[in-house]
Amino acid sequence: MSDPGVVADQELASWALVRRYAVPRWMIERATERRLAGDWRGACAAARVDIGFDPADLTPEIEDDLRHLAPDLLRWHAPRVRYGRAELSPHQGLVLGRYGDAVLCAATPLHHDGAQRLRLRLVPAGPRPSGADVRTVDWTGLRHLWDARRSAGLLAHCGGGDRPPFFHADGVPLAPEELPGGDPGRGDPVRHAEWVGLLHERGAFKEASAAAGLALENMWTWTEERWQRRGRVAPVDLALLGRTMRDSTEHHRMELSWDLSLAVKDGAMVETVFVIDAINPRPYLNVPLLADGLWRRLPDLDLLRAGRITPEELHPLVRDALFPARPPVDGPVGPPGPALPVPVAVPCRRRQHGLRFRDGVLEDSHTSQERDRERVLGAFGGEPSGCFAVRAAWEDGRGRLPGALLRLRKDLFRRMEHGDTPGVLRLLDAGVDPRVRDRGGRTLLHLVHRVDHEVLLPRLLAAGVDPRSRDHLDRTPTWAVRDAGGPRALVRALDAAEQDEETV
């Protein structure tokens, strides 16, 4: 079984990626500008949210909610694939609102490797309004996660009054001596949440659960020590879960990780939490899935406490909700954009040579004769060294890169994965060589279905990115795009480029 500490670190690292790349600052700014102008469809387009219904079918009540929908905030809080990944969790239907016989849903992609787009749907009410092929998750009680009118409610949802747990109202973390030394009781929700959280962090999972009003019972094949160890690092907010279940009379389940779930029953009384062996969870498959926002610690607060982000890197609506006393800033608020490339020093032939990007090429300071000599050595099986080794690693993904180039490559591919077309274009406009491959041998064409391919496909082909290239699993871009459910028109365009003898 995976080490719980490693699992917790991966969880935090995944959310750091989500917050850095999933909702770029430009997206927040464009979607906000359109929303404030009353253009909800333009706001959705800016936030890469498709509309799957005829606007003429909307009732005044639904249209009023859509005018206040913050699609970028919805994307910010949407469920994610975790543990090293950061994509939208596939096959989920988030029920945003119920309007008589109609239900407004936000559907996540069908493939975690597909385009990272959400889709608004208006479907008939029923036991499974999202459709039989997706998992329905009730977000109707979580309007602060998508309705701009309710976004300030995030603070109270986290247990806060005038500040969130573990922070002052201006975003400064509490000092250790400012934290509670005993149970303050539920009459002080924020300090009670801190006390429950401190018990949980100290490994007293059972005691923390009891303080939150939850009684634990071990089930299936898990030993006491085993599930206590996993529960200790699970991202569950026990105080929030206790509040949620006190207001519920239904059974629910939560997926804490790939091999650990919790099922909660008797919400009107003392709740019983069962630890389920995920290898054989059949008795609970029909138990409704509880939305992450009703049981999970807010990732933003976890990241802030760990020093992985700053309040100014949060979504502006989230920052303002969590830290109402934080002074305004002169500059923009939101995730930072891409860092532009700078020259890199590389040890080469007992000297330090400079490598830099210019006009889409990674340039070195060698003469044409030295480059020819290196090519001849390579033809006879010689290993490249120095500048030539770095250029080879950039283009085949197999060798080692200097730290600055490695970070740049990761940044570029992450922005491709999350559909950040403006971010990718900014790097290419700064001269970055697009003929790069990642560690898996993928080119940017292997991910072109995730971005605005009408803009980037012709540019990548013109820059010499080979449509016939294969990654380290022998997959071509055409194969990768088709397998991820990419648009048919894009598959045809890639196939045509692959067959075109004029293409590099």
- How far is the C-alpha of 238 from the C-alpha of 11, rounded, in Å? 18
Phi/psi at 317 (nearest 5 deg)? -70, -35
- The token pair that represents 26 in the structure block: 């430009």
Q: Is residue 164 part of a domain?
A: no
- How far is the C-alpha of 464 from the C-alpha of 39, rounded, in Å? 39
Same-domain pairing of 3 and 133 = yes
Same-domain pairing of 118 and 248 = no
- How far is the C-alpha of 263 from the C-alpha of 250, rounded, in Å? 11
| pLDDT, tens digit, 9 for 90 and up, residues 359-371 | 999 888 765 666 6
For residues 126 and 118, the answer to whether their CB atoms sit within 8 Å is no
For residues 295 and 236, the answer to whether their CB atoms sit within 8 Å is yes
**Burial, 193: exposed, middle or buried (Cβ in 10 Å; 0-12, 13-18, 19+)?**
buried
- How far is the C-alpha of 173 from the C-alpha of 170, rounded, in Å? 9
Q: Is residue 157 part of a domain?
A: no
Check residue 92 and give its pLDDT: 93
Phi/psi at 455 (nearest 5 deg)? -90, -45
Check residue 71 and give its pLDDT: 99
Check residue 76 and give its pLDDT: 99
Determine the average pLDDT of the residues in 319-335: 95
Same-domain pairing of 249 and 187 = yes
For residue 486, the domain's CATH number is 1.25.40.20
| CA 215 distance to own-chain centroid | 32
User: Does residue 271 register a pLDDT over 50?
Assistant: no
Element (H, E) at 120: strand 118-124
- Give the contacts of 50 (CB within 8 A, at least 6 positions apart): 44, 117, 118, 119, 120
Check residue 269 and give its pLDDT: 39
Check residue 270 and give its pLDDT: 39
- The token pair that represents 493 in the structure block: 């365009």
Check residue 360 and give its pLDDT: 93
Check residue 268 and give its pLDDT: 37
Same-domain pairing of 205 and 276 = yes
At residue 26's C-alpha, the angle toward residues 427 and 138, to 5°, is 120
Q: Number of structural domains, the chain?
A: 4
Element (H, E) at 450: none
User: Does residue 275 register a pLDDT over 60?
Assistant: no
Q: Which residue segment(s) compose the domain that 37 sits in? A: 1-150
| pLDDT, tens digit, 9 for 90 and up, residues 89-103 | 999 999 999 999 999
End of a domain among 326, 356, 377? 326
Least Cα distance to 323 among 101, 163, 203 occurs for 163
Element (H, E) at 354: strand 351-358
| Single pTM value for the model | 0.92
Same-domain pairing of 11 and 125 = yes
Confidence class for position 1, pLDDT limits 50, 70, 90: very low
Confidence class for position 352, pLDDT limits 50, 70, 90: confident
Between 120 and 369, where is the model more confident?
A: 120
User: Does residue 486 register a pLDDT over 80?
Assistant: yes
For residues 392 and 399, the answer to whether their CB atoms sit within 8 Å is yes
- How far is the C-alpha of 194 from the C-alpha of 428, rounded, in Å? 46
pLDDT, mean over the chain: 87
Same-domain pairing of 78 and 17 = yes
Q: Is residue 105 part of a domain?
A: yes
Torsional sign, CA 331, 337, 339, 340: negative
Phi/psi at 443 (nearest 5 deg)? -95, 175
| pLDDT, tens digit, 9 for 90 and up, residues 194-240 | 999 999 999 888 889 889 988 776 554 455 566 667 777 788 899 99
Same-domain pairing of 5 and 69 = yes
Residue 237 neighbours by CB distance under 10 Å? 27
Determine the average pLDDT of the residues in 294-306: 95
Same-domain pairing of 352 and 302 = no
- How far is the C-alpha of 150 from the C-alpha of 339, rounded, in Å? 34
Residue with tokens 């807010």: 298
Q: Is residue 341 part of a domain?
A: no
Same-domain pairing of 198 and 273 = yes
- How far is the C-alpha of 498 from the C-alpha of 493, rounded, in Å? 9
End of a domain among 417, 438, 459? 438
- How far is the C-alpha of 390 from the C-alpha of 363, rounded, in Å? 11
- How far is the C-alpha of 106 from the C-alpha of 8, rounded, in Å? 28
Q: Is residue 162 part of a domain?
A: no
Check residue 442 and give its pLDDT: 98
* Region of residue 499 (phi > 0: left; psi between -120 and 50: alpha; otherwise: beta): alpha
Torsional sign, CA 482, 485, 488, 493: negative
- The token pair that represents 495 in the structure block: 């196939």
Same-domain pairing of 61 and 141 = yes
- How far is the C-alpha of 284 from the C-alpha of 251, rounded, in Å? 10
Check residue 385 and give its pLDDT: 65
Confidence class for position 255, pLDDT limits 50, 70, 90: confident
Of 71-80, 192-201, 242-251, 449-458, the poorest mean pLDDT is in 242-251
Same-domain pairing of 137 and 227 = no
Same-domain pairing of 54 and 199 = no
- The token pair that represents 463 in the structure block: 């820059």
**Burial, 342: exposed, middle or buried (Cβ in 10 Å; 0-12, 13-18, 19+)?**
exposed
* Region of residue 381 (phi > 0: left; psi between -120 and 50: alpha; otherwise: beta): left
End of a domain among 438, 469, 491? 438
Q: Is residue 155 part of a domain?
A: no
Least Cα distance to 292 among 81, 50, 72, 66 occurs for 81
For residues 260 and 275, the answer to whether their CB atoms sit within 8 Å is yes
Of 233-237, 355-359, 456-460, the poorest mean pLDDT is in 233-237
Q: Is residue 383 part of a domain?
A: yes
For the chain, give the longest Cα–Cα distance: 81
- How far is the C-alpha of 147 from the C-alpha of 409, rounded, in Å? 36
Q: Is residue 161 part of a domain?
A: no
